[in-house]
Amino acid sequence: MKTLKPVLFVIIVFSLISVACLASGTANDNSTTTNGNEVSEEVVVEEPVQDPKPTEEIVVEEPEVEEPAGNEPQPFYVEEFDDDLENWTYFLMSGNEDLMDLYTEDGYLVFDLEGEQQYVYVMYDPFTYENVMVEVKTENRGANTNNVSLVCNYTDKYGWYEFSISNGGLYYIYVYSELDGGYDILANGGSKNVITGRHENVYTATCNGNELALYVNGVLEYEMTDNLYNLTEGQVGFGVSSFDVLPIIIYADYVAISQ
């Protein structure tokens, strides 16, 4: 949008014995004075006409967190995948690693999964958290049968909480228990807020100890307290899963970690 500012130049020239004086008015005054007489000019500002936004458009603002100072890792920040991800590592819980690729491209972290039942996780290594919000914005560019996950309270000893949202509109809140050696569903349901198909979605999870909440495109889907496994702190991360329809191509725009 361009803003045009009118500029009023008033030049008064007196020819008295070859002496010329130039005077101008102030920008905040809508009147000028000529030979002691005030001349008022009415300025009419028309309000711009804006097109209404489509009712189906969902806008989720990116969280405001502190920017990293130099190369030092920060506990709370937004990773936009413009640089090397030296503080992030990934692992597979299932699937053939030779049939997947994970790389950065044009400010995105790309999950390119060409094998079935691949569960890929990317974790932020430097810090653990007791009270945290983790958010990821992703775009589906492949098959519609995929899940995007958010992870909190991750430890090698006990496991983690996982919020998994399918591109078809289902969600699950899991706990993976290292002691039991498997996934347990804590809650699940359907969401009308997931934009299915090849579109962008913003998924957010909050973990205040064992108090958990899931948001889809800014809307609260489910909240609960887990008193059974009671995982209270750990690392955070996110992931993508494939099933039996391929390929799965997910572009992660950013991941935000905030308090």
CA-to-CA distance for 143 and 166, rounded, in angstroms? 12
Taking CA 136 as the corner, what is the angle to CA 205 and CA 171, rounded to the nearest 5 degrees? Answer: 55
Measure the N-to-C terminal CA separation of the chain; round to a whole number of Å.
Answer: 35
CA-to-CA distance for 163 and 152, rounded, in angstroms? 9
Higher pLDDT among residues 156 and 48, named by residue: 156
Q: How far is CA 34 from CA 38, 214, 217, in A?
A: 6, 68, 60
Higher pLDDT among residues 147 and 60, named by residue: 147
pLDDT digits (tens, 9 = 90+) for 18-33: 333 333 333 444 444 4
CA-to-CA distance for 84 and 103, rounded, in angstroms? 10
CA-to-CA distance for 121 and 235, rounded, in angstroms? 12
Task: Assess if CATH 3.30.470.20 describes domain 77-258.
Answer: no
Residue 47 neighbours by CB under 8 Å, 6+ apart: none
Buried b / exposed e over 56-67, threshold 16 CB at 10 Å, is eeeebeebebee
Mean pLDDT across the chain, nearest whole number? 82
Confidence of residue 154 (pLDDT cuts 50, 70, 90): very high
For residues 188 and 172, is the Cβ–Cβ distance under 8 A?
yes
Place of tokens 């790309």: 110
For residues 94 and 121, is the Cβ–Cβ distance under 8 A?
no
Higher pLDDT among residues 211 and 44, named by residue: 211
Domain ranges for the chain, please list them: 77-258
**Distant-in-sequence contacts of 176-182, Cβ < 8 A, 24+ apart:** 176/93, 177/229
Count other Cβ atoms within 10 Å, centred on residue 33: 13
pLDDT digits (tens, 9 = 90+) for 36-90: 444 444 444 444 444 444 445 555 665 565 554 567 999 999 999 998 899 999 9
φ, ψ (nearest 5 deg) of residue 212: -120, 145
